[in-house]
């Protein structure tokens, strides 16, 4: 590709080591698409005749057809990618195209540089990866909202400081994750919009030396427009940074979900029975059923975070414009895309198959004075200042602990000794239903608010 200026051959170990083809072979579809778009642009500039353009396009299609990327083989390197001396995907396509159409292939590189090619290929790759991730997230969202609908009026304790706080609807708890997913989708869609610009025509650094109409390639590849600055375009990897960062944030959300389910499946909580189809036994302890899926997901979120910091570290401190360091950015991007595809390949079905132990949840949510807040609210509705109400209910809770009774088992005369504001209607104000329904605000766990939130979540995800 660049042998003209050199007298000495490359050190063979170095030559082998600096290749990116063992990694970037999977950009073949993007490289072919970008090459076809570039061919159209140079044809419009008079470098190729209409007949040559047709030959070139046919040759590029054949390169793609002869070297299939099997979706089902995932990250495995196909045989064609092992048996070659190509330095990188750009070199590979040039070699293969020469086999197809002979010397005409050499004209393809007119007016372009590998620096703009790799930037274009990576943008195309990430665009697809974002689309696939959003599809997967929609499935997971759907699983969660279905589970929420099925949970009806069942309750679970909410926790603060991992201490039981107040009862909430199981649906309310599940919809918390639906909210996170919606933010993740919007972040990814936003990153997609910002990254959807075409570097082709930027040349090696200063812009193409040919009077190219850059809008031709941009349009052909469904980019919004050509990038506005050639130095930025050839060295910008913000779209890779944003992509890996979006996935790192998503990984954090998924990891929190995984952590909660791991905890809730323990005998100590007993809120759910792990689906056997997604759990494993222990080779040593016959009684065990282990939460491998949620544990692995929690572990994999570490990779997503690591990849985001790898890309950030790579870019930080690079002078403009292209530097070979940037080649190292491909692996973390591919790994994040593969990792999230793997997770979202199992998480929706796993979520859908969760079986909750609503009895245990209800017992946990109705013992331990989780209605104390509702009790204080009752007093404050009677005109007792909230600080005072808090103290009075605190005294009632202490009495309950000492005599091993919940608040609803303390008699009215006993309560009235603590405050004359207590009346017969107190007991109706601290039932489970009342405890839920007193949170009657947008985003609160009152039953009709949660029903509304569920409807809204379902319609938002459809319109995103
Ligand atoms: N394989 C290179 C990469 O991934 C392609 C660009 C090479 N450009 C260069 N000037 N050596 O970054």
Q: What is the mean pLDDT of residues 196-216?
A: 97
Range in 42-56, 74-88, 192-206 the model is least confident about: 74-88
β-bridge partners, 226: 198
CA 247 – ligand 1 centroid, Å: 25
CB of residue 88 inside a 6 A radius of ligand 1: yes
Quote the pLDDT of residue 74. 59
Helix axes 170-195, 447-463, angle to 10 degrees: 20
Asked whether the predicted pLDDT for residue 464 surpasses 70, the reply is no
Mean pLDDT of the chain: 95
Ligand 1 site-directed mutation target among 17, 91, 204, 324, most atoms within 8 Å of CB: 324
Quote the pLDDT of residue 6. 83
Number of neighbours of residue 399 by Cβ within 10 angstroms: 16
Ligand 1 site-directed mutation target among 3, 6, 19, 20, most atoms within 8 Å of CB: 20
Q: Which residue has the higher pLDDT, 284 or 41?
A: 41
Q: What is the mean pLDDT of residues 241-263?
A: 98
CB of residue 327 inside a 6 A radius of ligand 1: yes
Quote the pLDDT of residue 220. 98
Rg (CA), the chain: 30
CB of residue 326 inside a 6 A radius of ligand 1: yes
Asked whether the predicted pLDDT for residue 154 surpasses 90, the reply is yes
CB-based contacts of 282: which residues, under 8 Å, 6+ apart?
A: 288, 290
97 burial (CB, 10 Å; 0-12 / 13-18 / 19+) is buried
CB-based contacts of 256: which residues, under 8 Å, 6+ apart?
A: none
Rounded CA gap, 172 and 155, in Å?
Answer: 9
Is the model's pTM score more than 0.85?
yes
Asked whether the predicted pLDDT for residue 430 surpasses 70, the reply is yes
Q: What is the mean pLDDT of residues 42-69?
A: 96
CB of residue 431 inside a 6 A radius of ligand 1: no
Ligand 1 atom closest to Cα of residue 89: 1
Q: Are 290 and 275 in contact (CB under 8 A)?
A: no
CB of residue 258 inside a 6 A radius of ligand 1: no
The two three-digit tokens of residue 250, written as one number: 């998503």
CA 159 – ligand 1 centroid, Å: 51
Atom 2 of ligand 1, residue of closest alpha carbon: 327
CB of residue 115 inside a 6 A radius of ligand 1: yes
**Residue 404 φ/ψ region, left for φ over 0, alpha for ψ in the -120 to 50 degree band, beta for the rest:** left
Torsion of CA 98, 104, 106, 108, to 10 degrees: -110
Q: Which residue has the higher pLDDT, 68 or 301?
A: 301
Spell 336-360 as b/e; 16+ CB within 10 A means b. Answer: bbebbebbbeebbebbbebebbbee
- Span 278-323, pLDDT tens digits: 888 878 887 888 899 999 999 999 999 999 999 999 999 999 999 9
CB of residue 112 inside a 6 A radius of ligand 1: no
CB of residue 118 inside a 6 A radius of ligand 1: yes
Ligand 1 atom closest to Cα of residue 87: 1
CA 22 – ligand 1 centroid, Å: 14
CA 268 – ligand 1 centroid, Å: 55
């Amino acid at each position: 590709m660049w042998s003209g200026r050199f007298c000495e051959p490359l050190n063979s170990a170095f030559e082998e080591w600096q290749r990116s083809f063992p990694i970037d072979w999977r950009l073949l579809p993007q490289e072919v698409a970008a090459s076809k778009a570039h061919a159209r642009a140079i044809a419009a500039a008079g470098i190729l005749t209409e007949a040559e353009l047709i030959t070139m396009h046919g040759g590029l299609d054949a390169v793609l057809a002869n070297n299939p990327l099997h979706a089902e083989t995932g990250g495995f390197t196909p045989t064609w990618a092992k048996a070659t001396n190509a330095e990188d995907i750009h070199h590979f396509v040039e070699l293969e195209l020469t086999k197809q159409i002979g010397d005409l292939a050499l004209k393809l590189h007119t007016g372009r540089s590998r620096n703009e090619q790799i930037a274009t290929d990576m943008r195309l790759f990430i665009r697809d990866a974002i689309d696939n991730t959003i599809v997967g997230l929609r499935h997971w969202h759907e699983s969660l909202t279905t589970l929420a609908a099925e949970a009806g009026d069942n309750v679970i304790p909410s926790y603060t400081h991992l201490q039981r706080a107040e009862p909430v609807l199981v649906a309310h708890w599940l919809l918390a994750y639906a909210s996170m997913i919606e933010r993740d989708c919007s972040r990814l869609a936003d990153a997609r919009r910002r990254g959807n610009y075409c570097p082709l025509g930027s040349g090696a650094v200063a812009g193409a030396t040919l009077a190219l109409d850059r809008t031709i390639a941009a349009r052909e590849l469904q980019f919004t427009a050509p990038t506005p600055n050639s130095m930025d375009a050839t060295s910008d990897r913000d779209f890779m940074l944003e992509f890996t960062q979006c996935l790192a944030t998503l990984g954090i959300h998924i990891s929190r979900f995984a952590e909660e389910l791991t905890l809730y499946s323990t005998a100590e909580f007993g809120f759910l029975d792990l689906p056997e189809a997604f759990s494993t036994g222990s080779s040593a302890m016959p009684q065990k059923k282990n939460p491998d899926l949620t544990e692995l997901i929690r572990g994999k979120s570490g990779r997503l975070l690591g990849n985001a910091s790898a890309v950030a570290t790579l870019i930080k401190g690079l002078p403009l414009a292209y530097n070979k360091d940037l080649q190292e950015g491909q692996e973390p991007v591919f790994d994040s895309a593969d990792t999230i595809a793997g997770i979202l390949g199992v998480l929706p079905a796993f979520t859908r198959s969760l079986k909750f132990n609503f009895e245990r949840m209800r017992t946990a949510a109705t013992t331990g004075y989780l209605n104390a807040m509702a009790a204080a609210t009752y007093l404050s509705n009677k005109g007792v200042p909230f600080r005072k109400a808090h103290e009075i209910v605190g005294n009632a809770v202490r009495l309950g602990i000492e005599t091993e009774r919940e608040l609803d088992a303390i008699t009215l005369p006993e309560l009235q000794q603590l405050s004359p504001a207590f009346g017969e209607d107190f007991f109706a104000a601290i039932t489970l239903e009342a405890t839920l329904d007193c949170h009657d605000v947008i985003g609160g766990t009152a039953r009709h608010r949660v029903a509304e939130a569920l409807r809204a979540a379902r319609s938002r995800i459809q319109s995103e």
